[in-house]
Every structure is written in C-alpha cells, then in structure tokens.
Amino acid sequence: MTELVDHETVLWPKCRSALDRDKSRMSAITELAESRLSGLSTEQKVAQLIQAELASVEPGDVREFGLGSILNGGGVFPDANKYASTEDWRKLASAFQSAARESASGIPILWGTDAVHGHNNVYGATIYPHNIALGAANDTDLVERLGAATAQDVLDSGIDWVFAPTLAVPCDYRWGRTLEGFSQDPEIVGRLGGAMTRGLQGDPTSAGFLDETHVLATSKHFVGEGSTADGIDQGNACCSEQVLLDVHAVGHISALKAGAQVVMAAFNSWNDEKVHGSSYLLQDVLKRQMGFDGFVVSDWDGFAQLESDIERACIRCINAGVDMLMVSSDWRGVYEHVLNSVESGQISTSRLDDAARRILRVKALNGMLSPTWNGPSMRQTRSLGSKATRKLAREAVRKSLVLLKNSNALLPLSPGQNVVVVGTSAHDIGKQCGGWTLTWQGTDNTADDFPHADSIASGIQTAVAGGGGVVTFVDDVDDETEADVAIVVFGEEPYAEGEGDLNHLSFSRDESEPLAQMRALQARGIPVVALFLTGRPRWINPELNASVAFVVCWLPGTQGGAVADILFRNAANEIRHDFVGRLSYSWPLDASMTCIDRDSDRPDSYLPVGYGLNYEDEVSFDTLSELDETTGTSHRGPSYQGSYNYPNP
Ligand code: BGC
Ligand code: BGC
C-alpha cells in the first residue's frame, strides 16, 4: 500500500440499523446461530463458506457436502434452459433445499441471483430500467416499490437472496458498469441505495423485515469500484481514504443502516491492494469500525485474483475477512483448500467460526433456522410479468426520461400527425434492456425472449393510432420519406462488466448511421425527435445539433412503450405526463471528456447533475442547438457558427 493511506486519521462511522436496537430479537438470533454452530464439524463449517455456481453443482452435492450457498450467474438457468418457467426455478430450488435439509448439518441453503433490474435472469419477468435511469428519476418511494416487486418475483422462483443494490459512484464513464450506478453524486447513491435495500428486505423497524415477502439484499461492491483509473473494470482505485469514505462508501453506509446483511467485496484494488485481500478494509474498517455483523461474500472467483496458488489465495482472502467464497466451477477444490488450511492452522479455527457464525446469523435472521421454515417457495403469488409489475415499470420509465433539448417546444407531439419512426432500435427490446438481461452481457436475446414486453415502437403506434394520426416505421431514411415529424431511436448495444469498457466517450465516432439519418431528415425539412438508449452519458454533440428535441431514455427495460406516454399528447390534445427526470450524471459536451468533476472550472463543457427540461416550465434550451462538433471545447449561444466536420478526429 502507498503512503497515500494514513489509517490513523480517518474515522469510519458505526452503521447501526434499527435491528441492532431490537436487542431481544437479535439476542435470540445470535443464540440460535450459536447453537447450530456448536453442533457443526469442521467440515460442515467449511462447507457453509462455499457458494457454488449452478452450472457446476447438483442437489446431490449439497446433500453430500452441506454447502452453505449456491448462485446462478448471469445467463445460467435450470437445465440450461433460457425459457425455464418460474415453476422450473421453484422445483430446482426446492430440490436444493430438500438436499440441504437431508445433509448431515441439515442447514438450509442460500441461493443468490443478480436481480439488478427486476428478476432479470428469468424468462417472462418484467425488466425495470437500470440504476442509472432510477438515479435520474431520483424517487426513493419508486425505488423502494421496485425493490419490493423484485423481491416478490425472486421469492416466487424459490430464491431468497439478490446481489443488489450496486452502490458504485462511477467517476469515469468509460467504465462499462456505469449503468449499474445510480449517480455520480454520492448523496443520490446513498438515498436510492437505502431505498432499494428497504424495498428488497423490508423496513428493519417493521415486522415485515425479511418476512416471507422479502429477500436478502447485498451491498455491492465494497468499495471504490467507481474510481478505478481510466474507468477500467476491476482496476486500481487511487484515492485517499477520506475520498473512499466521503464518496465511495456513502451508498454502503446507507444500505447497512437500512439493514443490509451481506456485503460483496469489490474486484478492484484500492491503492494497489486488492480489496479481496485487504484485511484493513474488510476486517478493520467494515467489521470493526463500521460494526458490520452480517457476512462478506467474495465476488466471482475474486479470491483467485490474489495468488495463482489457489490454496494460498483462499487463505489470504478468508484471513482478510471474506466469509463466503463465490466459486464459478471448482468448488470441490476450494472446499478442500479451505479445509486443509484450517487443519494446518493457516486459517485459525476462530476465523472459521467467525465466518460460519456470520453466515448462520444471516440465515437465522432470514427465518431459515426456525423449525417451521419450509423454503422460500412456500408462497406463490404469480407476480412474474404481472400487470402490476408492468404498470410499475411504466411509471419508472416515465419518471427516468431526461429531456436535454426541446427547441421551438417541439414536444409534446400531437398524435394527430404523420409520424415516421426511424431505426431498428425502436423495436429492439434486448437493446432497451441492456446488460444483465437473460444473458450476462444482455446479448443474444430476440423478441421471443420477452413475452410481456412493450417496445418504444409499439407505444408510439398506440399513441398515434389513438389520436387519429398515421405512423410508419422505417429502418432508414430515403428520398421517399415524408412526415410531419420524425422520431429517431438509437443507442448503445447491450453490454455488462468488462465488455462495456470504452476508450473514449464519443458515440458519434463509433456509430455514424443515426447521425446520417438525422441529417437526411433535417435536409428534408422534417423535424427530428431523438431518443437515445444508453447506459451512460456519451458525447453526442452532432446528434444534439441534428435534432430539434432530444430525450435520453437510458435503458428502460421491457416497458419501453411508456416513452410515448410522455412524448405525445392525448387525443384531446392534453399533456399526459411531464418530464420529471433530471441528470444524475453530468453530461459531456466536450469530446475529450471521460469524467466530470462537479467543481470543474469549465461549466460550459458539460450539462450538470440536475439538468433536464420539462413542458410546464416551457424552457427551451436553444443554446444547445449549436454545440462544437470537433474540438476539445464547447461553444454555447446563438452566435456560434459551428462547423460540421464529422466524424470527429
Ligand atoms: C459481478 C457481480 C455479480 C457476480 C455474480 C460478478 O462478475 O461483478 O456483480 O453479482 O458476478 O454474477
Ligand atoms: C457469469 C456472470 C459472472 C461472470 C464473471 C459469467 O460467466 O454468467 O454472472 O459475473 O461470468 O466473469
């Protein structure tokens, strides 16, 4: 570790939740966990520390070893069937639970899944907008309801634990996980992270906390992942301890105060030391200073990044404070390594007991150690893809859209017009959902994969048909294209961690087709409304210049039809919904930018956090109409005569 870090000067706050004040409940939980722990052999304790991935584990293994947990990775399904029904998931979950109960320890198993925007790994689920969109909506009540609805879907499939919320504070938008972060503003991350945790788990002050309608949440990834150099995934976060606390830990503090019981260690390093191997961050800061008494789970094979010798890696990781190891495939090997290390004394029995005790306490708190517990799949609500979830998704979509530009008050549109919708993205649900949707990267999905979805195109179709207008859908613009107004839908292709990292933020440089379409429409005198699907702010000055109105739709999920609710007036020509979304990340107007410092001395070079137009105020930000398309600076104001030297060098 570098001299930058002075462990003596920074004080981390205690993060007590309402639970900790409920002394009688907590002492009963501790007692229950303790009594189960005392009956376990060393082997059984070690098995509690192992989380095996679904593709490499079967119920029979759980019966034999008494594993503590399983997970399904992104794009892993029961019987490798993407179209597995909720029933299939429940059946498999109950087979695992029965096996766990029949194992020698008899301790129920935890199943974790990445339900990060709805129950996104399950066919037929309603997919909600990604966190970046929820940050723009910035509505804690909405986020709490989304968490509660997700919990219901997850429970219905027999699963009791989700790897959410992500509490990153992305600083460099080239990072492919920017879309998973609510905001670059720690305050927003804290508010919404707490709300999502409460939604998933229930309010810790109420009897509903972790009851049969709630699931365990995960405060992830601890800590500093949004601050890696150049936005490189799993990279090195170089910042002072004070910045780590004041910026990157804010969401975690809030989730812990809301009662989060699991923390996932972050893949990144902090000042050259991997978090998975940092006993300072995990033991001293998180567990001792902050008082966290739940358990720490590693990220996907995170221990293996510490050393090439896996036994040494496991030793370092567990001794640094990781309590449960998430293993992609060779969980048997990892089990053996941990067992050997306990037997050789490299992992002390007190550390093993501490880790197992923490896991058992969380199971006890989740009701799983009670004699009447019968598995999370007892209650079935058939909520997956229900009308109620779709309605909630539509609300989330509407509230998250951000209007960047609306010259001549082009929006809201009257539905009684001739409308042309340009671009295949208008029909592309997979693109509207982005990464972490059915597959890990969100790629390889087709229209058939989304049975209850409503595309942006279908929403426009309904709005225009209801208002007496005519809509045509075209993939491209040509000499025949005629309309009163054009809607161009375009944006990023799906990606998730790693694959989504970029070298620069210029969308215009990578994707020339939408801009060419906008310019062709412009040349034909057809005003353009641009709808941008994206998981992060991108440099799009040329597209902003070529459009009359510009809406950032983020990654709205399966109910993209809701975009039309806000774009179009109703048949009586009344406004149905106004824009309430505001940027939760500042937006670069300078092609060379990759991150934005809120205290920058160049306020002209970006649109700030909080920016966003709406109808009621009738603000028309005309100055956006002439943005610099070439150089490192932006020019605003009507007098600027921009050049159109595209593509950007
Ligand atoms: C990601 C986590 C995720 C885990 C399980 C990791 O690669 O970083 O966010 O929860 O995989 O899918
Ligand atoms: C899994 C993801 C996981 C990733 C980590 C993928 O194969 O499906 O869940 O996060 O690997 O590398």
Encode pLDDT of 99-155 as tens digits: 999 999 999 999 999 999 999 999 999 999 999 999 999 999 999 999 999 999 999
Q: Is any ligand 1 atom within 6 A of the Cβ of residue 300?
A: yes
User: Does ligand 1 lie within 6 Å of residue 642's CB atom?
Assistant: no
Close Cβ partners of 606 (under 8 Å, ≥ 6 residues apart): 586, 587, 588, 589, 590, 593, 596, 600
What number of residues does the chain have? 649
* Residues marked as catalytic: 299, 497
The C-alpha atoms of residue 44 and residue 514 are separated, in whole angstroms, by 58
- 286: alpha, beta or left, given left = phi > 0 and alpha = psi -120 to 50? alpha
Percent of the chain predicted with pLDDT > 70: 93
Ligand nearest to the CA of 299: 1
pLDDT at residue 597 in the model: 65
Q: What's the pLDDT band for 619 if we cut at 50, 70, 90? A: low
Band of the pLDDT at 372, cuts 50, 70, 90? Answer: confident
Q: What is the best residue among 175, 228, 299, 495 to mutate for testing ligand 1's pocket, by most ligand atoms within 8 Å of CB?
A: 299
At residue 626 the predicted structure's pLDDT band, cuts being 50, 70 and 90, is: confident
The pTM assigned to this predicted structure is 0.95
pLDDT at 621 > cutoff 90:
no
pLDDT for the residue 649 = 22
Cβ(171)–Cβ(227) under 8 Å? yes
**pLDDT recorded at residue 634:** 36
Contacts of 498 (CB under 8 A, 6+ apart): 176, 233, 234
**How much is the average pLDDT of 604-631?**
79
* Choice from 114, 300, 499 to test ligand 2 binding pocket (greatest atom count within 8 A of CB): 300
At 359, the pLDDT band (50, 70, 90 cuts) reads very high
What are φ and ψ of residue 449, in 5° steps? -80, -5
In tens, the pLDDT along 246-278 reads: 999 999 999 999 999 999 999 999 999 999 999
With contact defined as beta carbons under 8 Å apart, do 161 and 218 qualify? yes
